[in-house]
Structure 1
């Protein structure tokens, strides 16, 4: 029986930000590993020979942009770290631009940088925790403020509803009072007007009698008739009575204006407190 052939490795085309395989001649496939010694990246197909024991001399790493790890001046791998300039350099750089500087292999500098990275992460974690606590407090404050505002709205609606109802009752009472005073004053004035009309009629009638008597040529009859004239009618209404003597509404209007001014002032104080 013929042995089953091994399934071909899964390959993938490159996308934005992916590393391309350096050995693909036609369509560039996505690289899965890179060799920092050979400065080459391999896809799933071309990396297979590298797994053979005879070829496993170099350590493969996750696929990365190798040009970022190459010294642009010497074309060598960046495997050293310069403390003076705080940058990665190649071995040849240590004998030229960085001659006399404190340089070590990147593998030696890594633990120190790893420690600094850990400290930075701790600071970030502390800041995250502080911000999360602040967010929780602020969120709680917002909820409390909204609840307080809603309670204030409900309370103000209730109070203003009661005030409006009270004002409406007072308005009706004031209207009834004004109407009652108006009816009483007008009724009294109408009585006085009628009395004055009767008195005027009597006076005119008496004046007509006296005018007729004044033409009488009989002296004795004139004197006798004059003695018999009735005295002037006594009016029940005083001539000085006018509507101005009845209760005035000016005081009431002033009281209402003062009430309005006081209510406006009280609302202003409430808004100022808010």
Structure 2
């Protein structure tokens, strides 16, 4: 067993808290973690030693007493390792050192005088040599080309207020001669104050919007409760009205039934009386027939006088039947009641719809509209104009089409 197998491939020191990965290679726990932390931005993790790539970051396994044999078995099946990696290599999202040759280290500082970014190693002369004493170092920044005058290839140090642009010292000689110029630091200080005022205004707007949002949420809750109460109360009142109409229907049915029964009883009484009178008249007719056949003259004369007197003394009443009697007026009255009820309900529904539609739930106060409000945002909040229903059919169409569009519009506004 060689000494290399007891050494971490990354730090070249004795293994500390060794861990292994699926390919079998072993490293210090902290070394492997640091190495793969730098690979997080790529999403691809490879073994520092054999370069086997994993799409998902493997979970290292802590090593026990058999790690040396495992290392020996796997290391024999792979080619010699590449040069030792460095944890400070610049990734795609990092700023690389401008002095490094080949694979660049991550830059830690940028010199605004040199217009270059340096890693820890190449930054030392700026700290150790008096030559760089007046150079200004800042945290590393990318896009150094933006710090250089494209015409004179000098660092941008001034700001021309006349042309509203950053310039270098050579620009003041010709292109910006006689212009109102200040140092970039002074312009930054003044703009920083304006930026602070802008930020304060934005924070005030945020506070105002949050307040309006809270008020709107409370109004929405109140709206839901009010709508629920209205639905329940309307359902109860319409139930009462339907029960009232049912009672009216029952009363009308009783009226028709009682009048029919009275008329039938009256007709049956007259029919019974007519039946008795017909039977009596048939009896008399039979007696007259028998009397006319008798040969007893005295009996004929005596009976004739009695029959004639009885017939002349009795006057039978006439039963007059109304051929136009019917329950048509009842049907007509109910039909007129239905028409009046329909017209009344239509008028009332239209009145209610107009009243509700005139009450805006929420809208923008145009008098306090911010200058920064865009026209499309204002359009988004404006209520969509709707034609007021004038008749029952219009109301029903408005009710069907308005439910979805109005719900979408309110949710969009909220």
TM-score normalised by length of structure 1? 0.74
Q: Distance in 1 between matches of 2:318 and 2:326?
A: 13
Q: Which residue of 1 aligns with 2:97?
A: 21
User: What's 2:325 paired with?
Assistant: 244
The 3-state SS of whatever aligns with 1:88 is strand
Distance 1:208 1:267 in 2: 76
**Contact persistence 1:69–1:77 (CA under 8 A):** yes
Out of 181, 200, 207, the position equivalent to 2:259 is 181
State the match for 1:256 in structure 2.
Answer: 337
Alignment of 1:71-90 (within 5 A): 71-90=149-168
Which stretch of structure 1 is more off in the superposition, 179-188 or 195-204? 195-204
Asked if residue 93 in structure 1 is aligned to residue 175 in structure 2, the reply is no
Runs of 5+ consecutive residues of structure 2 not aligned to the other structure: 1-11, 14-30, 32-84, 357-414
Post-superposition Cα deviations, 1:23-45, rounded to whole Å, max 9, x if no partner, equal 343345543322211111234x5
Q: How many Å separate the matches in 1 of 2:156 and 2:216?
A: 49
Distance 1:178 1:26, change over 3 A: farther
- Alignment check: 8 A CA contact 2:99 2:122 kept: no
Distance 1:131 1:236 in 2: 96
Superposition RMSD on alpha carbons, in Å? 3.9
Match of 1:53 in 2: 128
Going from structure 1 to structure 2, the CA distance change for 1:246 and 1:23 (only over 3 Å counts) comes to closer
Contact 1:21 1:31 in 2 (8 A): yes
Does residue 164 (structure 1) correspond to residue 242 (structure 2)? The answer is yes
CA contact (8 A) 2:109 2:123 kept: no
- The structure-2 alpha-carbon separation of the partners of 1:77 and 1:205, relative to structure 1 and needing over 3 Å to count, comes to farther
| Structure 1 equivalent of residue 148 of structure 2 | 70
Check conservation: 2:89, 2:103, Cα contact below 8 A.
no
| Number of aligned positions between the proteins | 263
Change in 2 beyond 3 A, CA 1:120/1:272: closer
Q: Which runs of 5+ in 1 are unaligned?
A: none
Q: Quick one: distance in 1 between partners of 2:263 and 2:328?
A: 8
Q: Give the greater-gyration-radius structure (CA).
A: 1
Shift, 1:157, TM fit: 1.9
Query: How has the CA–CA distance of structure 1 residues 265 and 184 changed in structure 2, closer, same or farther, with 3 Å as cutoff?
Result: farther
Tell me how far apart the structure 1 counterparts of residues 115 and 246 of structure 2 sit (CA, whole Å). 92
TM-score (norm 2): 0.52
